[in-house]
Structure 1
Amino acid sequence: MTDAGKAGEPTRIAPRSGAAFKLHDGQLLTVIDPEGQQVSDLLAYNAHDVREVLSSGRTLDYAETIRLTTGHSLYSNRSRVMFEIVHDTVGLHDFLLTPCSVATFEHFYPDKPVHRGCFGNLAEALAPYGISEDDIPIAFNCFMNVSVDGNTGGLRVLPPVSKAGDCLKLRARMDLIVGLTACSAYDSNGGSFRPIDYCISDG
């Protein structure tokens, strides 16, 4: 659990860490890449029933695209809108890949130090809200650049195209508990680790 600071003022998530906070119906969450080329994993739960959670499958099904941007909605596992994307300066995000974890590092980076990743950071940040590791689904990966081969379906994680100051603004459509990270995986961030900023406003 974290202090989100004063309404409208940015709060910084340090590199390779995470935060969790409440967001009220109608409030705006702005996720900012302050230095460029940094991914942020975003999760959301119904604040009144955490069994209702952000759903990649429902969202991609209803959007009929994997390229989610301004005008699209992010749905829950109960087919209800959790967020509306109201402003997006990047237009390239991922909703296919799961948060990086210890297992991710052991699988993809066997020659590098193991890190608990976004999964571990989200689990710690969300635990005070009664959300366990088994409650963590696929995250909406803000600014993540995942290439899909049109012939083979192969996936490649490429450096983000986001530049310093780029942002994604989402409007909450219900009271939410939100988990947010500054991603820890090497490939996701072009081999470097930077912070993520966010701010909450009333619209």
Structure 2
Amino acid sequence: MRQTIQPRSGTAFTIKKGERLKVIDPEGEQVADIYAFNEHDKTEFLSSGRTLDYNESIRFKTGSKLYSNLSEVMFEIIEDKVEDHDFLLTPCSVDTFRHFYPDEEPVPGCYGNLVAAFAEFDIPAHHVGTTFNTFMNVDISDSGKIAVLPPKSQAGDFTVFEAKMDMIVGLTACSAGESNNFRYKPIQFEILPAQTV
């Protein structure tokens, strides 16, 4: 069943090994942050550093694998209509809003929304790290300058992640204006059953 995450909010849920998480951008140009923990051992969690190391790339697409801090595969991207995501930047937070948008009223951001969602699973705030930013368009210049550009995702585009272990997953509709071309939109998702051969 397809579920909707309202703009600037998030949720957490469990997914079993072999099931597939389909993340959908229903309106286009909307980022969705993902973070995950091993359901049976919360000291194992999604790792940007390990993932960048083992993929030998900062670009992610069909066939890319997302690794844990213990070097185990957590997700594999098995279908991807966008093939443009980020795993460098941390989830937006009250502090990042104060830094980048000082004239705006700070909101919890993806970090705060993930902290609130993971609290139902007794996961403390300081365990939430760098998220996999689905559909986020980040450009790095030759000089190393990072620029956040409007997402390339169009209405109805999606990415499908296959779970490689039982996990607790957090998912948001990103709150940062620059990440979403300054329009805040929903994100949808489905948990699809494991494929049988």
Q: TM-score, normalised by structure 1?
A: 0.95
Q: Which residue of structure 2 aligns with residue 180 of structure 1? A: 171
Amino acid aligned to 1:144: M
Q: Which residue of structure 2 aligns with residue 115 of structure 1? A: 107
Amino acid aligned to 2:190: C
Partner deviation per Cα, 1:98-140 (whole Å, 9 max, x = no partner):
0000001100000112111000000000001111110001000
Cα distance in 1 for residues equivalent to 2:82 and 2:106: 30
Taking the TM superposition and a 5 Å limit, the aligned residue runs for 1:130-141 are 130-141=122-133
Amino acid aligned to 1:115: V
Q: Which residue of structure 2 aligns with residue 92 of structure 1? A: 84
Partner deviation per Cα, 1:24-58 (whole Å, 9 max, x = no partner):
00000000000000000000100001110000000
The structure 2 residue matched to 1:83, chosen from 42, 55, 75, is 75
Cα distance in 1 for residues equivalent to 2:87 and 2:177: 18
Matched, 1:193 2:150: no
Cα distance in 1 for residues equivalent to 2:158 and 2:179: 17
SS in 2 for 1:184: coil
Partner deviation per Cα, 1:161-193 (whole Å, 9 max, x = no partner):
100000000000000000000000010000010
Taking the TM superposition and a 5 Å limit, the aligned residue runs for 1:47-58 are 47-58=39-50
Cα distance in 2 for residues equivalent to 1:183 and 1:196: 9
Q: Which residue of structure 2 aligns with residue 158 of structure 1? A: 149
Cα distance in 2 for residues equivalent to 1:71 and 1:174: 17
Amino acid aligned to 1:170: F
Identity between Structure 1 and Structure 2 (%): 55
Unaligned runs of 5+ in 1: 1-8
- Count of residue pairs brought into register by the alignment: 194
Q: TM-score, normalised by structure 2?
A: 0.98
Cα distance in 2 for residues equivalent to 1:69 and 1:56: 15
The structure 2 residue matched to 1:125, chosen from 117, 125, 134, is 117
Partner deviation per Cα, 1:59-86 (whole Å, 9 max, x = no partner):
0100011001100110000000000100
Amino acid aligned to 2:24: I
Q: Which residue of structure 1 aligns with residue 28 of structure 2? A: 36
Matched, 1:105 2:71: no
Cα distance in 1 for residues equivalent to 2:25 and 2:32: 8
The structure 2 residue matched to 1:10, chosen from 2, 20, 25, is 2
Cα distance in 2 for residues equivalent to 1:131 and 1:41: 17
Partner deviation per Cα, 1:128-167 (whole Å, 9 max, x = no partner):
11111100010000000010012x1110011101000000
Give every structure 1 segment of 4 or more consecutive aligned residues whose post-TM-superposition deviation is greater than 6 Å.
Answer: none
Amino acid aligned to 1:40: A
